[in-house]
Structure 1
Amino acid sequence: MQSSASSSSPTKFFYGWVVVLVTFVALLISAGIRSMPSILMVPFETEFGWERSGISGVISVGIFLYGLVGPFSAALLAKFGVRRMMVAALAVLAGSLALTPLMTHLWQYQLLWGVVSGFATGMIANVLGVTVASRWFVQRRGLVVGILTASAATGQLLFLPLLAHITVNQGWRYAIYTAVGVVLVLLIVVAIFMRNHPYDVGSAAYGTEEVVKPEPFRGSIFLTPLLTLRDALRSKTFWLLAGTFFFCGFSTNGLIGTHLIAACGDHGIEEVTAAGLLAFMGIFDLVGTTMSGWLTDRFDSRKLLFWYYGLRGLSLIFLPYALDATPAMLVVFSIFYGLDWIATVPPTVKLAAQTFGKERAGMVFGWVVVFHQIGASTAAYGAGLVRQISGTYTTAFVTAGFICLIASLMALRISKNASALQAKA
């Protein structure tokens, strides 16, 4: 069913920008909560006597499930609607947070943060941003993907100083209570202002002139993502995107997002100060990833990925020196690394859409994100184990740097003119 309407009238406000704003805030807050275990690591060691590797294992499971739910979240968003699934995920997240202060054993932490929180935050992650951008925008889609991706990455870092301050001065339980309150407020905002599709407000997607009723989701919530993966596995481009994203996750939220605060503690830097460095990265990530979206609309995505991964690798190799040098060197690292934190997402999304088509891009990218989170999960646990054995994070940081250099070369091997796979009806 189609009807003619203008989406570009200068007197008509495009509601898609409200949807982008709500999604931006949701991704920001969800990612911020997902990053909280990095400031809880030392307090949990002190209060419960848990080992660093055990706590890292919980974080590792949460990161993995956060990614694994991505392809299925794309199907759930299509089947039940964006607003309904966001409200459900936020309600589950608030519940897991509210129960956290009652835990006394490591298995309870694993259940609440490794499993429940992992699934809930996975519903409010990058696949949500890609879904919103694909539905509401034809023009400026790369820019919107960049903005929403930046919010997710920035959220991992931006709230850490506040939460670290609360943790140090009032205790970790008060930081959890603060997070519960924020999630409940966000749930209300989403329920009131979120919309599923431009058709719901009688609008066309940005850059088009026709109001188009969305096709109902006809596949299986669980089987369709698996069939999409089966088809994607036949593509060399998918393997290269998945491989580079594995290294992306290994070198960002799995390593730096999880362990930088603890690594700074090893060098006598206070927790609040270290969290401030991560927040500083988050501010520059917002700039860098948004700019990456703008660049992705204009330049070869393969070459952008080459530079992003290469520069990130050099910054990680530099990090051990920065930790041993003056505080100014850590600030330099924070700026340089922050600009590149997750700038890889917009070009990766574009390459997935070019290869597999717009209709399948969300699910294919969801599977690529699974590999990202496997890499992050590997680094979250592996770096903690390396630190426990060797007493230092230097080996983990340098290894991640060289892995990123390998990823930069892999990006150039992605086919420039990959044709879209044909979806089976």
Structure 2
Amino acid sequence: MNTNAAKSSGVHYGWIVVLLTFVTLLVSAGIRSMPSILLLPFEKEFGWSRGGISSVISIGIFLYGLVGPFSAALLQRFGIRRMVVLSLILLAVSLSLTPLMTALWQYEILWGLVSGLATGMMANVLGVTVSNQWFVKRKGLVVGMLTASAATGQLLFLPLLAKITVEFGWRNAVHAAVAAIAVVLVAVAIWMRNHPYDVGAAPYGTDEIVKPAAFTGNLLLSPLLALRSALRSPTFWMLAGTFFFCGFSTNGLIGTHLISACGDHGIPEVMAAGLLALMGLFDLVGTTLSGWLSDRLDSRKLLFWYYGLRGLSLLFLPYALDMNPLMLFIFSIFYGLDWIATVPPTVKLTTQEFGKEKAGMMFGWIVVAHQLGASTAAYSAGVMRDLLGSYTAAFIAAGFVCLFAALMAIRISKVSAAARQAVS
């Protein structure tokens, strides 16, 4: 396939870029979820504590989020193709060296530092950048598709990688992940383009061919100036606070520890990975529906219900683990519908507060709070498991903080209104 073939077929090249980005984010998300599969094998083979292994996952999750505010500037300055290729190479190197490691500090570097930074570049901001560069119309559809790729990656990769780990060993699972990266890397290097101007086309939805503006900002200073401005906004603190608890109760806790928690109750790894995959499937439905509802209902009330229902489901989880597989299946469906349903209303509230021009950068910092919460949960839950012998306390604590986040979400409107009144 080449650009001329795309033109002659009548397919706008932007859709090819979307497909490549979707696959890139899908593979990146699948690999980012691998530590939950590797936790038990590493504990058995190396004798590392769950707290120690969880600290690696915690660092990776935090760096994954911290890169976000800066990745937009890097993508604009150096181009989408160059940055994605570099990120995929770094990710492939970190995975390729993983089977050779013998100490926990090596795992810290390979998966905490390198993998965290590499996958952080291939996260939400990449999808937003692609939609802004290539599309005037259908932006919402594009952002929705690319956001859903994270759930789809988990859906496709976790059961497969868990099965390879159980039947052929974790090293072969890592080799399979490297092979997937290699395929995506070749496709991106050949067919990815930075801007419609590169193929002599206009953005989708317009006939005007425009040369992209040169990047004039400071790669480090611009995100920091945006953060300084955000810190003066009470609404930013409320949104960042609720998103902290969102990360605490999703990828940091359930995404990292559900498989090992199931192992404590005699549930096989492949079946436990299937539960996470099921959550990913229903997350596609829940997030899409949440976006539809955000256009029609008060986003603050939506967040109240999302966090409240998630809190109740986490309070139910210890009982589901002790009862029977059917209860755990019901939990997975209910919880999966709510996994990242909080994103559309949070993005909408961010846009309303800061405007379209600043929304991307501000949301990037809100995502940092999300990943800080996820990082905290990933580490603390592992430590609590080592000290108490179970995850029950961690699940119950997460349930209560979600209920607190629900109350914060309702409070957002009052804080925002008070702030605007003070300014006026």
2:408, 2:159 → 1: CA distance?
36
Aligned to 1:30: 28
For 2:54 and 2:173, the matched residues in 1 are separated by 20
Question: Is the 8 Å Cα contact of residues 147 and 286 (structure 1) preserved in structure 2?
Answer: no
Which stretch shifts more, 303-312 or 75-84? 303-312
Match of 1:173 among 147, 171, 174: 171
Give 1:130's aligned amino acid. V
| Amino acid in structure 1 at the alignment position of 2:117 | F
| Equivalent position of 2:270 in the other structure | 272
Determine the structure 2 residue equivalent to 1:219. Answer: 217
Counterparts of residues 285-304 of structure 1 (less than 5 Å) = 285-304=283-302
C-alpha distance in 2 between matches for 1:319 and 1:369 = 26
- Which residue pairs with 1:6 in the alignment? none
- Structure 1 residues 207 and 240: alpha-carbon distance in aligned structure 2, compared to 1, 3 A threshold: farther
Q: Deviations 1:205-239 (Å, cap 9, x if unpaired)? A: 44555444332221111111111111111112211
Q: Which runs of 5+ in 1 are unaligned?
A: 1-10
Amino acid at match of 1:244: T
Match of 2:311 in 1: 313
* Distance in 1 of aligned mates of 2:208 and 2:301: 35
How much does 1:156 deviate? Answer: 3.4
Q: CA deviation at 1:329?
A: 0.8
Indicate how the Cα distance of structure 1 residues 414 and 147 shifts in structure 2: closer, same or farther if over 3 A, else same: farther
Q: Which moved more, 1:199-208 or 1:228-237?
A: 199-208
How far, CA to CA, are the matches of 2:113 and 2:48 in structure 1?
18
Deviation at 1:204, TM superposition (A): 4.3
Residue 5 of structure 1 is matched in structure 2 by: none
Of all paired residues, the percent bearing the same amino acid is 74
Quick one: which of 40, 43, 52 aligns to 2:41? 43
Letter in 1 for 2:74: L
Aligned residue for 1:248, secondary structure, equals helix
**Structure 1 residue identity aligned to 2:349:** L
Q: Which segment is superposed worse, 301-310 or 68-77?
A: 301-310
Give the aligned partner of residue 391 of structure 2: 393
Cα-to-partner distance string for 1:357-411 (whole Å, 9 max, x where unaligned): 3332222111111111100000000011111111111111111112112212222
- Whether the 8 Å contact between 2:62 and 2:374 is mirrored in structure 1 is yes
Structure 2 residue corresponding to 1:153, chosen from 141, 151, 157: 151
* Pair 1:402–1:365, CA change in 2 (3 A): same
233-242 or 293-302, larger mean C-alpha shift: 293-302
Question: Mapping of 1:330-341 within 5 angstroms?
Answer: 330-341=328-339
Identify the match of residue 129 of structure 2 among 128, 131, 149. Answer: 131
CA deviation after TM superposition for structure 1 residue 202, in Å: 4.2
CA shift in 2, pair 1:136/1:238, >3 Å: farther
3-state DSSP class of the match of 2:339? coil
Alignment of 1:10-409 (within 5 A): 12-208=10-206, 210-409=208-407
Q: Kindly provide the CA deviation profile for residues 293-340 of structure 1, in whole angstroms up to 9, marking residues without a partner as x.
A: 333344332232222222211211111111111211111111111111
CA distance in 1, matches of 2:142, 2:296: 14
SS of the residue corresponding to residue 363 of structure 1 reads helix
- The question of whether the paired residues in 1 share the 8 Å contact of 2:88 and 2:185 is answered with yes
- What's the secondary structure of 2:38's corresponding residue? helix
**Is the 8 Å Cα contact of residues 140 and 297 (structure 1) preserved in structure 2?**
no
With over 3 angstroms needed to count, the CA separation of the structure-2 counterparts of 1:241 and 1:384, relative to structure 1, is: same
User: 8 Å contact 1:232–1:238 — kept in the other structure?
Assistant: yes
Alpha-carbon distance between aligned partners in 1 of 2:135 and 2:306, rounded to the nearest angstrom: 25
CA distance in 1, matches of 2:306, 2:66: 25
User: 2:112 and 2:21 mapped to 1: Cα distance?
Assistant: 24
Q: Residue 238 and residue 402 in structure 1: after superposition, are their counterparts in 2 closer, same or farther (change >3 A)?
A: same
Would the aligned equivalents of 1:134 and 1:141 in 2 still touch at CA under 8 Å? yes
CA contact (8 A) 2:151 2:281 kept: no
Query: Per the alignment, in what secondary structure is the counterpart of residue 218 of structure 2?
Result: coil
Secondary structure at 1:159's aligned position in 2? Answer: helix
User: Taking structure 1 as reference, are residues 234 and 12 closer, same or farther at Cα in structure 2, changes over 3 Å only?
Assistant: farther
Which of 284-293 and 46-55 deviates more? 284-293
The Cα shift of 1:161 comes to 1.1
User: Does the 8 Å contact 2:37/2:259 carry over to 1?
Assistant: yes
Q: 1:62 offset after TM fit, Å?
A: 0.7
Residue 91 of structure 1: CA displacement? Answer: 0.7
Question: Structure 2: which 5+ runs fail to align?
Answer: 1-8
Coordinate RMSD, CA, aligned: 2.2
The structure with the greater share of residues assigned to helix is 2
Question: What TM-score does the superposition give when structure 1 sets the normalisation length?
Answer: 0.91
Deviations 1:154-188 (A, max 9, x none): 32353111111111111110000000000010111
What is the alpha-carbon distance in structure 2 between the residues aligned to residue 354 and residue 205 of structure 1? 25
Residue equivalent to 1:413: 411
- Which deviates more from structure 2 when the two are superposed, residues 121-130 or residues 260-269? 121-130
